[in-house]
């Protein structure tokens, strides 16, 4: 699509889906909202170009994930919170039984967790996940396999399987 899209409309349509996925990755609602909002701001800064992309949401998703996985950003955020003597309040969130998978995911290495969310929740093909995280497809498949095995140990209603069959 090449027509100019209205940013507010795009924002309303994309924010919740992306923030929901990043919440599953980070386990932190506020953090998920922060990175998505930041990605939206960066999209707005170059909206005349981003709006002409075939999938502006894909651009924003990539930026948001880069932010979410940025070690420097995590360090800076921790520093800001410390400077402000901020005490993280447990924001109201979903019921624990509905997000047991989030707790289980939190035990996985970050890159395995990212691959799981991108592939199984965002429905990205393995090739696209590999390109996005900068790893080989085989590596991503290995991560997914190991992640499923680990999650199966923690979640009773999940059985491991070969990701190649997905």
Partner 1 sequence: MSDDLRRLLGDASAAARPHLSPPGAEAARRTLRRRRLTRASVLAVVAAVLALAGLQQLPHRGPAPTPLVPTPVPGPSTGPSATPSPSPSAAVSASPSPTGQPRPGPSPSRSRSSSNQVLASPAAPPPCLPAVRPRIAGATAPGPGTMTFSLTAADVSRLCPGRRMHISWASYRVTFESRLVLVDSGELDLDATTRTGTGTLSDVYGCQADRYFYLGSHTFPAEIAPNTHLSLPAWSAGRTTGLFEKHYLPRDGCAFY
The 83-102 contact track toward partner 1, x by CB under 8 A, reads x-------xxxxx--xxxxx
Q: Smallest distance, Å, CB 48 to partner 1? A: 13
State the Cα–Cα distance between residues 122 and 120, nearest whole angstrom: 6
Between the alpha carbon of residue 136 and those of residues 92, 108, 147, the distances in Å are 38, 19, 16
Which one of 54-62, 129-137, 149-157 is the stretch in contact with partner 1 (CB under 8 A)? Answer: 149-157
The dihedrals phi and psi of 37, each to the nearest 5 degrees, come to -60, -40
Number of residues that bind partner 1 (CB under 8 A): 52
User: Shortest gap between Cβ of 129 and partner 1 (angstroms)?
Assistant: 14
Residue placing its CB nearer to partner 1 in the complex, 2 or 84: 84
Map tokens 């497809």 to a residue.
Answer: 137
**DSSP labels, 24-85:** HHHS-HHHHHHHHHHHHHHHHHTHHHHTTSS-HHHHHHHHHHHHHT-HHHHHHHHHHHHHTT
Does 120 engage in binding with partner 1 (CB under 8 A)?
yes
Binding site residues, partner 1, CB under 8 A: 7-8, 11-12, 15-17, 19-21, 23-24, 29-30, 32-34, 36-38, 40-41, 44-45, 76-77, 80, 83, 91-95, 98-102, 116-117, 120-121, 148, 151, 155, 157-159, 161, 163, 165-166
């Amino acid at each position: 699509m090449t027509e100019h899209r209205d940013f507010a409309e795009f924002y309303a349509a994309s924010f919740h889906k992306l923030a929901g996925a990043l919440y599953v990755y980070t386990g932190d609602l506020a953090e998920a909202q922060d990175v998505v909002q930041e990605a939206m701001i960066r999209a707005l800064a170059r909206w005349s170009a981003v709006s002409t992309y075939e999938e502006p949401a894909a651009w924003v998703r990539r930026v948001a994930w880069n932010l979410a996985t940025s070690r420097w950003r995590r360090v800076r955020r921790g520093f800001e919170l410390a400077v402000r003597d901020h005490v993280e309040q447990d924001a109201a969130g979903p019921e624990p039984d509905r997000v047991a998978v989030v707790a289980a995911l939190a035990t996985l290495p970050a890159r395995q967790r990212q691959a799981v969310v991108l592939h199984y929740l965002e429905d990205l093909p393995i090739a696209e996940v590999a390109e996005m995280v900068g790893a080989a497809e085989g590596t991503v498949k290995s991560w997914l396999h190991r992640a499923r095995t680990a999650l199966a140990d923690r979640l009773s209603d999940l059985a491991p399987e070969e990701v190649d069959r997905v």
